Amino acid sequence: MKTLIEKITAENIEKQVHNAARLIKEGGLVAFPTETVYGLGADALNPQAARRIYQAKGRPSDNPLIVHIADPAKLTQIAERIPQRAMALGERFWPGPLTMIFPKKDCVPLATTGGLETVAVRMPDHPVALALITASTGFIAAPSANASGRPSPTLAEHVYLDLNGRIPMILDGGPVGIGLESTIIDFSEEVPIILRPGFVTKEMAEAVIGEVRLDPGLKIGEAIAPKAPGMKYRHYAPKAELILVRGCQDKVVHTVNRLIEEAEEQGQKIGVISTDETYLCYPRGIVKNIGARKDETVIARNLYGILREFDQLDVDRIYSESFSEQGFGQAVMNRMLKAAGHRVLEV
């Protein structure tokens, strides 16, 4: 199968979306931009189409898909027992980087929900995504458009590298805005629970609806499995071993430089994820600058792209500085720790 990359412009959006929507209606797959990461879309209410997503990504079939809508009023067609608090959260954050989980209606096939009786729903904030959902069937199941186990795509080129030959079309809307996947909040139990941290933080949600809990399974070293099946996999994994180095800046820089020196003497190729503040402090190794320490939004936007760059450079190991876990930093560190398989060096 040949994979077309269609660059979207103001002039061609209508025609491109029309062609892509036809593919979706026929049960096919289309990768498209959202404000978080690129998604791999199919008709959410067609089990055969949903199965094609799992095949193309090589995704385990017990890992459920998020159903994307373009109109909040469509929520009641696929979900049940939607609490008032969820409606309030939707009003505040949709369209946007928030996914909510409810008991599913019968029309949503188990092929889409990975066999679960609940459904995850999100209204993305991206003109191409919204136009595609509206022009197709109104319900698009879409996981991140990476091959299973790879970092989520923040550029159409990332999708192409992972899925070339496996899907017919990629709508190229340029770089995404946020760069990390949406916050997932589960409303299928009494107190809403964050199953995956994202741009919408616990504090932001609590300001609208009161108490929200964090899935205890997300904590490091916790014996309980996370409730979102996808969070249990070692996702976002670069090819090289990634090690986070945590401590005061001077010590981190000093330790990393020493480790680079040792490794290079043994003929190893070492990558470093540094910041605006430290970029010039590493004389050796292959050094990438992820952005200013104080701005998590920039760090988030650069993270997956940098992990992919290191894959292409075939480094043997990556040392990364670690970041604040406040606010959106919690989501950034959640992804980094997963990519690192929780390897942290305290200095």
Residues that bind ligand TXA (CB under 6 A): 34, 36-37, 39, 63-66, 99, 101, 113, 116, 118-120, 122, 124, 142-144, 181-182, 184, 195-196, 227-231
How many CB atoms are closer than 10 A to CB 271? Answer: 25
Q: Tell me whether the omega of the peptide bond preceding residue 95 falls within 30 degrees of 0, making it cis.
A: yes
d(CA 51, CA 156): 22
Number of separate helices (H) and strands (E) present in the chain: 10, 16
We find the least distance from the C-beta atom of residue 241 to ligand TXA, in angstroms, to be: 23
Residue 318 binding: pick among Mg ion, ligand TXA, none (C-beta 5-8 Å cut-off by kind): none
Residue 122 binding: pick among ligand TXA, Mg ion, none (C-beta 5-8 Å cut-off by kind): ligand TXA
For Mg ion, the closer of residues 245 and 300 by Cβ is 300
For ligand TXA, the closer of residues 47 and 247 by Cβ is 47
We find the least distance from the C-beta atom of residue 333 to Mg ion, in angstroms, to be: 18
Q: Which of 171, 108, 181 is nearest to 144 (CA)?
A: 181
Hey, what are 118's tokens? 């609940």
Question: Is position 99 an interface residue for Mg ion (rule: CB under 5 A)?
Answer: no
Question: Which range of residues in 27-35, 63-71, 136-144, 201-209 is near Mg ion by CB under 5 A?
Answer: 136-144
Binding mask 9-28 for Mg ion (x = CB under 5 A): --------------------
Question: Is position 144 an interface residue for Mg ion (rule: CB under 5 A)?
Answer: yes
Residues in the chain, total: 347
Question: Is position 154 an interface residue for Mg ion (rule: CB under 5 A)?
Answer: no
The residue number whose beta carbon is nearest to ligand TXA equals: 230
Residue 229 binding: pick among ligand TXA, Mg ion, none (C-beta 5-8 Å cut-off by kind): ligand TXA
Question: Which residue's entry shows tokens 């894959």?
Answer: 311
Q: Are the C-beta atoms of residues 145 and 37 closer than 8 Å to each other? A: yes
Q: Which of 214, 210, 208, 207 is nearest to 185 (CA)?
A: 214
Q: What is the DSSP string of 187-199?
A: -SSSS-EEEE--S
How many CB atoms are closer than 10 A to CB 298? Answer: 16
d(CA 115, CA 346): 40
We find the least distance from the C-beta atom of residue 295 to ligand TXA, in angstroms, to be: 20
We find the least distance from the C-beta atom of residue 198 to ligand TXA, in angstroms, to be: 7
d(CA 160, CA 145): 9
> From the centroid of its chain, how far is CA 161?
17
We find the least distance from the C-beta atom of residue 108 to ligand TXA, in angstroms, to be: 10
Q: Is 307 helix (H, G, I), strand (E, B) or coil?
A: helix
We find the least distance from the C-beta atom of residue 170 to Mg ion, in angstroms, to be: 16
We find the least distance from the C-beta atom of residue 288 to Mg ion, in angstroms, to be: 22
We find the least distance from the C-beta atom of residue 104 to ligand TXA, in angstroms, to be: 8
Q: Is 289 helix (H, G, I), strand (E, B) or coil?
A: strand
For ligand TXA, the closer of residues 101 and 287 by Cβ is 101
Size of the residue set binding Mg ion (CB under 5 A): 1
Residue 193 binding: pick among ligand TXA, Mg ion, none (C-beta 5-8 Å cut-off by kind): none
> CB-based burial of residue 190 (10 Å sphere; 0-12 exposed, 13-18 middle, 19+ buried)?
exposed
> Which positions lie near Mg ion, rule CB under 5 A?
144
